Structures are given as structure tokens and as C-alpha cells.
Amino acid sequence: MGAEKYQTDGNSVTSGPGFGVAIHPKALQQPYKWRSPKVVFVNSMSDLFHAKVPLSFVQDVFDVIADTPQHTYQALTKRAHRMARVADKLNWPNNLWMGVSVESADVVNRIDHLRETPAAIRFLSCEPLLEALPGLNLDSIDWVIAGGESGPNFRPMDPAWVEEIRDQCEEANVPFFFKQWGGRTPKRNGRELNGRTWDSMPRMKVS
């Protein structure tokens, strides 16, 4: 986070000094320079659908994704309402996997907004999982990731919460990926659930 590109005046309450919203148009040239296919997590420290990110920049990002079909891009948002609102103004390429964060029951409506998009792959990131998520509607969802919180002030995750999500995925025939139990560090408690790892990936759709 000390990189110069991230040093932008931020809100001391929501993002901290030096961590405000910024766009980096020059970064859009990088995918054209990669010689081999990559899986790219578009915004590991940001949210592409943040209200302060101009729609024109979001459109540029989507256009670059469409223009580099050799790569697979994964994008994740908590601003699902805005994503759905501008979905018809975007070019949705087949190599974009679009996901929403669903960490607690009070934000499951993000799944409905995700379903409103024409994304080729729609996924849920239930991480950090903060409570049980019973009765998930997984219609038109292609992948579910679950995992615990990590960091010095991590909140422990109940194994029953993860097992319930896995069982719902199995019942709905949706691939399930268990990322980590979490702890002071991401790898501290491993990633086995009921004695094994869960690494299912979504099935690519043929257009």
C-alpha cells in the first residue's frame, strides 16, 4: 500500500489518509504486453463500480478485457446496485467473470443485482464470511467462494457456516471453492474443510 500509485488523499474514516479513489489509465496498457495467458484479478484493492469511478473509465476497462481474450479477468464489487444500473452501457466479454461480495445476510440482495448483468460467469465471494447464509438463491450463479477473515483483528468463522454454503452449492450443482479459514495470517489455519480441500471452478460457457 506504500506504492506511489496508491497515495491519494482519502477519507480518514472509510479508507484512511493516502488511500482515496484513483484511476490509473496507463495500467490499461499492461494486458497487451503479457506474452502468455493470465488470470487477472482486476481490482484487488479497489472497486470498479465505486461511485467516484467514472463510467467512461469502467467502459475502457471492459473494452480492454474484450480486446485481450487470451486472458481471463475476475472482477469483484460491493457496489452491485451501480453495476446493475450501468450494465446496459457496458460491453460484457466472455472472458470476464463478474462477482459480488456476500459476507453477511444483510447484503444478499447483491446477488439479485448480479443476476441482472449479462456476465458470462457470475460468482459470489463469501469472504470474509461473518455469519450464516441460509437459503441462498443460486439460480444463474456459476461459482461460489467462501473463506474466513485474516489480520490482527480477525473475526473467527464458524465451520457450520461454511458447511451450509457448501451443501447449498452441491444441491444447486454450483462449483464451490473454499479459500481459507483465516486467522492472524491468511494461511495460518489452512484451507481444509471436513478433511479435504474444495477447489471446484466454474465451467466456461461456449458462446
pLDDT at site 12: 53
Q: How many domains does the chain have?
A: 1
Structural domain of residue 121, as residue ranges? 25-180
Residue 94 lies in a domain: yes
Residue 69 lies in a domain: yes
Could you tell me which residue, 156 or 1, shows the higher pLDDT? Answer: 156
Instruction: Please give the share of the chain, as a percent, with pLDDT higher than 70.
Output: 89
Q: For the residues 169-178, what does the mean pLDDT come to?
A: 98
pLDDT at site 45: 78
In 3-state terms, what secondary structure has residue 82? Answer: helix
pLDDT digits (tens, 9 = 90+) for 44-103: 778 999 999 999 999 999 999 999 999 999 999 999 999 999 999 999 999 999 999 999
Cβ neighbours of residue 191 under 8 Å, at least 6 residues apart?
147, 178, 179, 180, 181, 197
Q: What is the pTM of this model?
A: 0.89
H-helix segments, the chain: 55-67, 80-86, 109-115, 159-172
pLDDT at site 206: 54
Identify the weakest region by mean pLDDT among 9-18, 85-94, 129-138.
9-18
Residue 153 lies in a domain: yes
CATH of the domain at 104: 3.80.30.30
Of 80, 99, 108, 83, residue with least CA distance to 202: 99
Give the confidence band of 188 by pLDDT, cuts at 50, 70, 90. confident
pLDDT at site 5: 56
pLDDT at site 41: 96
Residue 139 lies in a domain: yes
Could you tell me which residue, 186 or 59, shows the higher pLDDT? Answer: 59
Residue 98 lies in a domain: yes
21 φ, ψ (degrees, to nearest 5): -70, 130
Mean pLDDT of the chain: 91
Give the confidence band of 1 by pLDDT, cuts at 50, 70, 90. very low
Identify the weakest region by mean pLDDT among 36-45, 99-108, 162-171.
36-45
Per the document, the length of the chain is: 207
Residue 187 lies in a domain: no
Residue 19 lies in a domain: no
pLDDT at site 71: 98
Residue 2 lies in a domain: no
